[in-house]
Structures are given as C-alpha cells and as structure tokens.
Amino acid sequence: MKHYKVNSVQPKISQLSSFLAGKLSNVGEQSTASYAVRHLFESAEALYRTLNFYTSENLAIFTDAGRYLNLQQEHDLMALTAHYAEAINTQWIQKIVEHDSTLTESDRTALKSALELYKTTVTATCAALGSPTWLE
C-alpha cells in the first residue's frame, strides 16, 4: 500500500511477545491457552499481511492498468480489515484461558491481560480508522 504502513498495524505477534516477555512460566508458555491467545494475534496479523499482499503496487492488475488504489480506497480496505480483526470472537479463547488446568494464577492473569490488550488494540485501531466510507 502506498499510503498506509500495513506491516506496522497492531495487533501482531511481536506485540504479544513483548507484552508476555518474562510473564509466563515454562508450562504457561506451552499451554493450550497460550497457543490460543497467540493464534488470535497471529490471525489478526495474517489479515493485514493478506491485505498487504493483495494490494501490492507490483501486482499485474495495477501495473498493467497503469494505476493504483487512491487514498480513499486504501483507507476503506484498512478500515474493513481492522473491523474484521475486531470481529474475531475472543469468547472461546477467554474460556480456554479460564479453564486450562495447567496454568498458574499468574499465567492465567497474564493471558487474560493479553486478551484485553488484543481487544483494546483492535478497538483503538477501528476508532482511529473509522468505518469504510460506504458505511458512513
């Protein structure tokens, strides 16, 4: 994308890794709950990576046509992708974190905080971008 730095949009796995650094026990890092939370961040990052790939200025559809998306079109695609990331259902991941018997309370608290970080981040991204123009 020309106008947006898609690779810097969060949530992403590096954000989770930084947030959880030193907060989980070895068992907590290998737990099902930890993998579920990690998958959530990976899924959001994959949405943006996919957007970035399919909107590359080097794609034949753009080079052959000799034109690229305008700022408004890029904005709408970014906003739509942000809303997709926000719409990912986190309730089942919350239940996994709550019921994973291998977690210590410290691990559980850290993973719950990571889920809140995800929700806060996607909400802030959506608020910053707003809705795609065709929805306003």
Over residues 82-128, the pLDDT tens digits come to 999 999 999 999 999 999 999 999 999 999 999 999 999 999 999 99
State the pTM of this model.
Answer: 0.91
**H helix and E strand count, the chain:** 7, 0
Residue spans of the domains in the chain: they are 6-129
User: Could you give the angle at the alpha carbon of 47 between the alpha carbons of 91 and 100, nearest 5°?
Assistant: 30
**Radius of gyration (C-alpha) of the chain in whole angstroms:** 17
Residue 24 region by backbone torsions, left for phi larger than 0, else alpha for psi between -120 and 50, else beta? beta
CA distance 83 to 86: 5
Residue 7 pLDDT more than 90?
no
User: Taking a C-beta distance cutoff of 8 angstroms, is the pair 7, 52 a contact?
Assistant: yes
pLDDT at 133: 86
CA distance 69 to 22: 43
Percent above pLDDT 90 for the chain:
88
User: Taking a C-beta distance cutoff of 8 angstroms, is the pair 88, 44 a contact?
Assistant: yes
